[in-house]
Structure 1
Amino acid sequence: MYSRIRRAVTGSIVASALVLTACQQGSSPDPAPEMGNATPAASPESENPAGEVIAVGQPITDLVAVGDVLAYRTEGALTIGTVDQLRNDEATTVEIDPSCGDLNEGSADFVLACGDTVRIIPADSPADERVRQLEDPATTAALADNMLVVANGEASNVTIYREDADPKTIRVEDATDQLITVPRADGTESVVRTNRETTIIQNIELDKNRQGGTLRVGLGVGQIAPGADGLVIAADTMGPQIAVYGYEAAIRLQQTAPTEASPWGAAWDPARELAWVTSTAENEAIGYRIADGVPVETQRFPTLADAQNIRATTDGSVVVASATGEGLQIVSPAE
């Protein structure tokens, strides 16, 4: 699939100055004063959100998926389960410290950085949780090719933990706000990070213990999400636009398209091969087909207010989470 996309966009990767500055290893120009530090716009009151809404009673701060298993985070807990388990109140609840950082997904596990430890929770067996002790506190973590990669929102470095080896800390451009695992076409995995203050996106060259190329996500990056075969879906909140990146030897911008105001949440839909973003300003989720080299809107539905997180499961369900307590929204393939 990714190879089709790559061929389609060859010759069209030249982007506007607002979208992309030069790709340099470990270097990014200073942003203009009006760039960076993106935040999601507050939503108007929601009206007739699509699909089914499950009351949660608390703001949902993170939502990720491993296959058909979802995990969402409220202040002191993770709730883990399939769509049916969430509907039927049969999901697993895992207590967490409210001070823990970002919740991320790997190929088989949910990953949560909690200061001096990282909690690794298998999607198919949450009770078999593993805990990894860290040398320095982390606010975000990712698993890639059996390596644990951690970062801190206040430090300009990333640390790689390998089995039976001392941790390796490398310098990177600015601190890390988001860190994700990206599956690649050759079966390996990589790690991509962002910094919202400088609106950069950067890959980590795990095999070489160094930072990779550094790009800018338009005017102000919101969320990024992993896709198939090296794809990364990014919401340029301040653009406003969707940006699609590809990762082979280094991260590269592939496609962009304008969106509704304040796109924040981002996701890849493996069932329909669509890139999704949520507009918190408009209470909309928009799905884009990207196989032809330019994102083309093909799906749209009204969301809950403050839909800051979105994911799609392999069975075709699109799930949206409200950051202000309206609950969890499930839109089935038929809808």
Structure 2
Amino acid sequence: MPASPATAPVTATPVGQVVAAPPGVALAFDTQSRTLAAVTQNEVLLYSVDGGLRQKAAVPLDTHAPGRAVVATGGGFLVAAKGAIIRITADGAARVTDVDGDALTAVPYQGKNGVDTLVGLADGRIEELGGKTPRTISGLVEASRLLVHGEDVLAVDRRQATLTVVDTTAGKLGDALRVGRGITNAEIDPYGRVVAVDTGHNQIIGFTASPFMERFLYPVPGAPYAVDYDDAAKLAWVTTTGTNQVVGYALSSGEPVEKQRKATVAEPDAVAVDPRDGTVFVLSAAGGGVQAIPTR
């Protein structure tokens, strides 16, 4: 069984601003539109962020609930859901593309022959969309999360606890590395560094995409789960679901160095960062709301 977040007791009062929201599963911040997207089981909530969090739209997922993941696309969002991917503009207009399976992750990707999106499915397939001759890449048990840096593509498989190179030129999987006892999430920064969260063994593990290799292993007590990277401050932010906290780590020395630690809403299963002012956004999986945390 894949690792899962902890159920944390109520601890310190969350810092910053908290607005009410249903239990959520994913969060993303779009720097171009200055919009935050929070995915709940049945809808995607959109928030303006300048001057404080304010909900501006709600996009129902309808028959495509539950939502699984969301990424920013530069002016909008791409949501992975059951049987579909949904492209949402910053003002809430939605366009649905059906897929053959339960989409767990979807990312923009500028591939050959017009391919513009990669979709990871619960049965382990990775599908190309938008191309003249789109392909399906098989071999994983679960395509849990896809990471893209330029032409490099990596796939997280939570069920196998692995990180795998995806060779989109050849249309097949490449090298794979074991990630502790239970990788749950991972993020790739603008330098091609991957921070993978091993919730099952209370640690984060660093990799580089090219060359593909492990760089560090660092203990993070408290069931770490979600991760995002602030390129301006050079901090990787990791939530700890066992303690209701989010921790900022500098990576410049080659090994994580803790710089900040903040109290969050209960069960902080998703995190996103505004690199312009360093605000860290956290989404509660327990119905504790959406939180905006100032860090600079």
Is the 1:218–1:236 contact (alpha carbons within 8 Å) kept by the matching residues of 2?
A: yes
Distance 2:29 2:54 in 1: 18
Distance 1:317 1:267 in 2: 12
- Of 122, 137, 161, 2:129 maps to 161
Q: Higher mean Cα deviation, 288-297 or 226-235?
A: 226-235
The equivalent of 2:10 in structure 1 is: 45
Distance 1:200 1:232 in 2: 13
Distance 2:295 2:223 in 1: 26
Is the 2:39–2:67 contact (alpha carbons within 8 Å) kept by the matching residues of 1?
A: no
Tell me how far 1:200 sits from its aligned partner: 0.9
Is the 1:106–1:144 contact (alpha carbons within 8 Å) kept by the matching residues of 2?
A: no
What TM-score results when the alignment is normalised by the length of structure 1? 0.78
Would you say 1:152 and 2:118 are equivalent positions?
Answer: no
The equivalent of 1:195 in structure 2 is: 157
Distance 2:73 2:247 in 1: 25
Is the 2:39–2:70 contact (alpha carbons within 8 Å) kept by the matching residues of 1?
A: no
The equivalent of 2:248 in structure 1 is: 287
1:63-74 matches, within 5 Å, as 63-67=27-31, 68-74=34-40
CA change 1:331–1:114 in 2 (3 A) is closer
Would you say 1:266 and 2:235 are equivalent positions?
Answer: no
Distance 1:301 1:113 in 2: 29
Distance 1:82 1:225 in 2: 24
Tell me how far 1:206 sits from its aligned partner: 1.6
Tell me how far 1:205 sits from its aligned partner: 1.6
The CA RMSD over aligned residues, in Å, is 2.1
Give the 3-state SS of the residue equivalent to 2:233 in structure 1.
coil
Tell me how far 1:203 sits from its aligned partner: 2.7
Tell me how far 1:138 sits from its aligned partner: 3.4
Give the 3-state SS of the residue equivalent to 2:137 in structure 1.
strand
Aligned residues: 286
What TM-score results when the alignment is normalised by the length of structure 2? 0.88
Give the 3-state SS of the residue equivalent to 2:201 in structure 1.
coil
CA change 1:309–1:107 in 2 (3 A) is same
Is the 1:233–1:244 contact (alpha carbons within 8 Å) kept by the matching residues of 2?
A: yes
Would you say 1:275 and 2:242 are equivalent positions?
Answer: no
Distance 1:200 1:49 in 2: 33
Tell me how far 1:232 sits from its aligned partner: 2.4
- 1:47 is matched by which residue type in structure 2? A
Distance 1:86 1:95 in 2: 24
**Could you give the per-residue CA deviations for residues 303-335 of structure 1, whole angstroms, max 9, x where no partner exists?**
11101111111221101111000111111133x
- Structure 1 alignment gaps of length 5 or more: 1-35
**Could you give the per-residue CA deviations for residues 92-139 of structure 1, whole angstroms, max 9, x where no partner exists?**
2211136244222144242223444321223x4542x433343x2232
**Could you give the per-residue CA deviations for residues 278-311 of structure 1, whole angstroms, max 9, x where no partner exists?**
1111112111100111111111111111011111
The equivalent of 1:104 in structure 2 is: 70
**Which structure dedicates a bigger proportion of its chain to strand?**
2
1:106-255 matches, within 5 Å, as 106-108=72-74, 109-122=76-89, 124-127=90-93, 129-134=94-99, 136-140=100-104, 141-145=106-110, 146-153=115-122, 155-163=123-131, 165-177=132-144, 179-182=145-148, 184=149, 188-248=150-210, 251-255=212-216
Distance 2:166 2:72 in 1: 16
Tell me how far 1:156 sits from its aligned partner: 3.0
Distance 2:103 2:263 in 1: 32
The equivalent of 1:10 in structure 2 is: none
Distance 2:66 2:142 in 1: 17
The equivalent of 2:217 in structure 1 is: 256
- 1:285 is matched by which residue type in structure 2? V
Tell me how far 1:85 sits from its aligned partner: 7.2
- 2:19 is matched by which residue type in structure 1? I
**Could you give the per-residue CA deviations for residues 4-25 of structure 1, whole angstroms, max 9, x where no partner exists?**
xxxxxxxxxxxxxxxxxxxxxx
Tell me how far 1:243 sits from its aligned partner: 1.7
Is the 2:85–2:103 contact (alpha carbons within 8 Å) kept by the matching residues of 1?
A: no
- Structure 2 alignment gaps of length 5 or more: none
Is the 1:138–1:150 contact (alpha carbons within 8 Å) kept by the matching residues of 2?
A: no
Which structure is higher in RCO with an 8 Å CA cutoff and minimum separation 6? 1
Aligned-residue identity in percent: 27
Give the 3-state SS of the residue equivalent to 1:238 in structure 2.
helix
